[in-house]
Amino acid sequence: MEAPRVVLLVVLLLFVFLTPEQPARRQFRFDTTNVEEQRQVELDVLTNSSYGQLNPEKDQWLNLTGFREGDGYQWELLSRVQEFSKQQFETAWKGVDLNDELPLYDKVTGEIRGKFSRMETSLPPRPINLTAIDPKREYMLTFFERNITEKEGEVSFSLYDSKDRDARNASAIKADISLWTDDSPGNGWQAKLQGVHFPSGQIIMSTSSSKFDSFPAFPHFALDADGFDASRIIMNETLHEKWQKTFEDLSDGIAFAPQCELIVWLQPLRQQFGGLDDSQIHRFLHQVELELQQPEGAPIGQPPLLTYSANIFSPDCGYILSSDTIAGPKVEVYWALAQRLVFSFIMTLGLQIALLKRQMEKAATPSTRSRIAYQSLVIAALGDGLVLFVLIALLMIDEAAFLVVAAAAFLACIHVAFLEVKFVFDIWTVQVGDPARAEMERQRRNPQNPTPAPGAAPALPPATSADGTVGLPLPATAPRPEGATPIAIPFDQDTTIQMPIPSARASFAAIYSRFYFSLVILMFFSLWSMSWPRSLRSAYANILVFCYFSFWWPQIYRNTIRNCRKALSWEYVVGSSVLRAVPILYWYFVDHNILSIDTSPITAFILLAWLWLQVSILASQQFLGPRLLVRDSWCPPAYDYHPVLRDDDVEANGMSIGLLASASEAKDKDDKTRKVFDCAICMNEIDVPVLSKGDSSGGGTAWLEQRNYMVTPCRHIFHAECLEGWMNLRLVCPVCREALPPL
């Protein structure tokens, strides 16, 4: 073991010393005086500018990064977006007095999602001199990320409203935005937004960076003068929070690629309930919010969703995205749904554990374990292991539902690590481990005898007389002894090489290491797939589920090869199939699911049909035969425990009744087509049909009664239930103790 460690250490040292150093980065020194001057300029623009001062058509600009005429940003589109947002708001609230209580939630913390389309008024991006606009940052690439060129896509917002929000005044709000298109990465184009939530329910937010100093100019994004004044107060607080950063936080440097800046306008859509006016709806929504924040059991029903229309403008990339409707639940409803789903998953895990425990108890003998395909359990365990890793990841990133997720992760760990893998090891030991060790032990105990050298004639004993004296000397042509034949013996005087026999502990470690290595590789590959485009990621997820739903095929194959009708209980087969399918099919069928995954009922029906096709084949193997519609040449020969019994024709397609042996002699009945035997297990009689020698019809009734009795290769006959129960314990004949082939 020392040599590999030394080699690994040498390789690591070579890698450290021979790896070229990173290119020197530009060092930016921050002058305190320049920082104070910049802050003074930002504060001056925020406090002294007036509404409408940012107007490229009138050649009016702001002295801020990204808002100067020479920066190349396409601010001529700003007025179009603002006008379009005004039309959306006025259309939604036509005929409503905005000074009254509006039918809206006071706090809008939640998750909203919807489709967007790229407006035709978008302009191609202009060349931007990033070195002049943002001299403190060095970009590795020149193309812009978050540049949406597709005609449509999907957008989601995670809104975080102020905890002390007063619905009568404007307040600060933050959000995380994600944009998905066909060419976007797996998690979409993401950005952090910050802005203002107005008393009318409107929300305006924007990004901010070193090349887009948006907070001092934020009031100019408002739709009217009142919004301008309200935004100025909020941005004054936001700007001072930004200035609280240290110089180290402000230090820029190397960056991967520039990103398109975003400005977002969200217009609330009117909540409507039949028979209620706006003030009554407002009071109802206020009661819903109180119940969600402090549950007391009030009958609020299903809380209404947050609904908005959205417009997104990128001033540097020159595009406009519009969405008529984006909706989603409030955060309390979202987490309540998440907890219910986790509780449901805990129940399915508990049922799976109970079914697996019962199956392990039923398969407690080598005879029953030899019928089970451990590959089926390995496939199921790999899928369950991925779910375990997902739950562990949720424990690390989420603290809100720690106890519930921890309970689910604990049960998943018990299910995978302590039950499924242990069951796989028990089956593997019977099918692979013990036979291999027995063969190696047999070879060790019976070493091959050394063969004599070729061409050496055996020495003839000297002739002796009756009284024991030595006879005459051998003739001259007789072979003479040349001494003892040399035999090579090792220096340790051991004539056989002792082969090491693997212990059960070594086999146990091998099984666990192989399983968890495969699981970790699958986990890392799945994590890598999260960065793929949505189409590839969706295809990978479907393939993964398809393989997971194929876990009964190894069992079908083993039943066919071994001519086995039943290996697992139907309680386990049907129960595990249903319990594994329900949590996965939720994401395919349920719209507005918790992860906002696009539903695909057609794919779900295909996957479900694929799973139940396997269950149907298992049922046909039990009731119609494991080799139904399978050619005999495709499978090795197997003994048939249910032959058709014939009277005395050994040459016929069956077994002669005259060759059968039993604990007692056969008893004739009045009907010559039937015989009665005694079962040596239950000591009761067996009434079996017998075909005569000349009967060539095959005996339809006899074929139906074949399932009631079983005949062993040693020609003993028993009840089918009796012998099957016996063979679950031992694979020997109850009468003569001859070894029996497995069912």
For residue 699, pLDDT over 80 is answered with: no
Q: What is the pLDDT of residue 14?
A: 60
582-608 pLDDT, tens digit per residue, is 999 998 998 877 777 878 899 999 999
> What are residue 306's DSSP bridge partners?
328
631-641 pLDDT, tens digit per residue, is 777 777 777 78
Single pTM value for the model: 0.72
Size (the chain), residues: 743
Q: Which tokens belong to 201?
A: 């329910």
How does residue 271 score in pLDDT terms, banded at 50, 70 and 90? confident
**Which segment of 206-215, 220-229, 388-397, 605-614 scores lowest on mean pLDDT?**
388-397
655: nearest Cα among 567, 714, 737: 714
Q: What is the pLDDT of residue 315?
A: 92
73: nearest Cα among 17, 123, 139: 123
Q: Is 62:46 a contact under the CB 8 Å cutoff?
A: no
Query: Residue 436 CA to chain centroid, in angstroms?
Result: 34
> What are residue 732's DSSP bridge partners?
739
Secondary structure string (H, E, C) spanning 183-205: CCCCCCEEEEEEEEECCCCCEEE
Q: Give me the percent of the chain exceeding a pLDDT of 70.
A: 78
Q: Which tokens belong to 240?
A: 């001072």
What is the residue whose two structure tokens read 């073991």? Answer: 1
How does residue 384 score in pLDDT terms, banded at 50, 70 and 90? very high
Name residues whose C-beta falls within 8 Å of residue 253's C-beta, 6 or more positions apart in sequence: 25, 26, 28, 137, 138
Q: Which tokens belong to 31?
A: 């002058």
What is the residue whose two structure tokens read 């024709």? Answer: 649
How does residue 415 score in pLDDT terms, banded at 50, 70 and 90? very high
For residue 352, pLDDT over 90 is answered with: yes
Q: Give me the percent of the chain exceeding a pLDDT of 90.
A: 30
Q: State the Cα–Cα distance between residues 532 and 186, nearest whole angstrom.
A: 5
Q: State the Cα–Cα distance between residues 403 and 663, nearest whole angstrom.
A: 63
DSSP H/E element including 178: strand 171-180
The DSSP symbol for 69 reads: G
For residue 713, pLDDT over 90 is answered with: no
Q: State the Cα–Cα distance between residues 306 and 285, nearest whole angstrom.
A: 11
91-112 pLDDT, tens digit per residue, is 988 888 777 778 889 899 999 9
How does residue 138 score in pLDDT terms, banded at 50, 70 and 90? confident
Higher per-residue confidence, 633 vs 368: 368
Average pLDDT over residues 263-276: 86
Helix (H, G, I), strand (E, B) or coil at 346: helix
Average pLDDT over residues 181-209: 89
Average pLDDT over residues 55-71: 88
Q: Give the count of alpha carbons within 13 A of 325, CB side only.
A: 8
Q: State the Cα–Cα distance between residues 209 and 253, nearest whole angstrom.
A: 13
What is the residue whose two structure tokens read 């666990």? Answer: 512
Q: What is the pLDDT of residue 663?
A: 47
**Which segment of 30-34, 104-108, 567-571, 572-576 scores lowest on mean pLDDT?**
30-34
Name residues whose C-beta falls within 8 Å of residue 6's C-beta, 6 or more positions apart in sequence: none
Rounded to a whole number of angstroms, the distance between the first and last alpha carbons of the chain is 47
How does residue 133 score in pLDDT terms, banded at 50, 70 and 90? confident
Q: Is 288:302 a contact under the CB 8 Å cutoff?
A: no
**Which segment of 94-108, 572-586, 646-660 scores lowest on mean pLDDT?**
646-660
Q: What is the pLDDT of residue 658?
A: 54
Alpha carbon separation from 205 to 30, 222, 261 (Å, rounded): 29, 10, 11
Helix (H, G, I), strand (E, B) or coil at 212: strand
How does the average pLDDT of the chain come out, rounded? 80
For residue 412, pLDDT over 90 is answered with: yes
How does residue 630 score in pLDDT terms, banded at 50, 70 and 90? confident
For residue 192, pLDDT over 60 is answered with: yes
How does residue 567 score in pLDDT terms, banded at 50, 70 and 90? confident
Q: What is the pLDDT of residue 219?
A: 93
How does residue 480 score in pLDDT terms, banded at 50, 70 and 90? low
Q: Which tokens belong to 346?
A: 């805990």
For residue 468, pLDDT over 90 is answered with: no
Q: Is 244:67 a contact under the CB 8 Å cutoff?
A: no
Q: What is the pLDDT of residue 457?
A: 47
Q: Which tokens belong to 327?
A: 């909706």
What is the residue whose two structure tokens read 């990033």? Answer: 130
Q: What is the pLDDT of residue 570?
A: 93
What is the residue whose two structure tokens read 């969200």? Answer: 266
Q: Is 644:691 a contact under the CB 8 Å cutoff?
A: yes
Indicate left, alpha or beta for 161 from its phi (over 0: left) and psi (-120 to 50: alpha): beta
Average pLDDT over residues 468-473: 50
For residue 345, pLDDT over 90 is answered with: yes
For residue 171, pLDDT over 50 is answered with: yes
Sign of CA dihedral 264, 267, 269, 270: positive
Q: State the Cα–Cα distance between residues 201 and 40, nearest whole angstrom.
A: 32
Helix (H, G, I), strand (E, B) or coil at 687: strand
Parse the chain into domains and list their residue ranges: 40-296+303-329, 336-442+503-632, 639-727
Cite the DSSP H helix spans in 363-489: 366-369, 374-397, 402-413, 421-428, 434-445
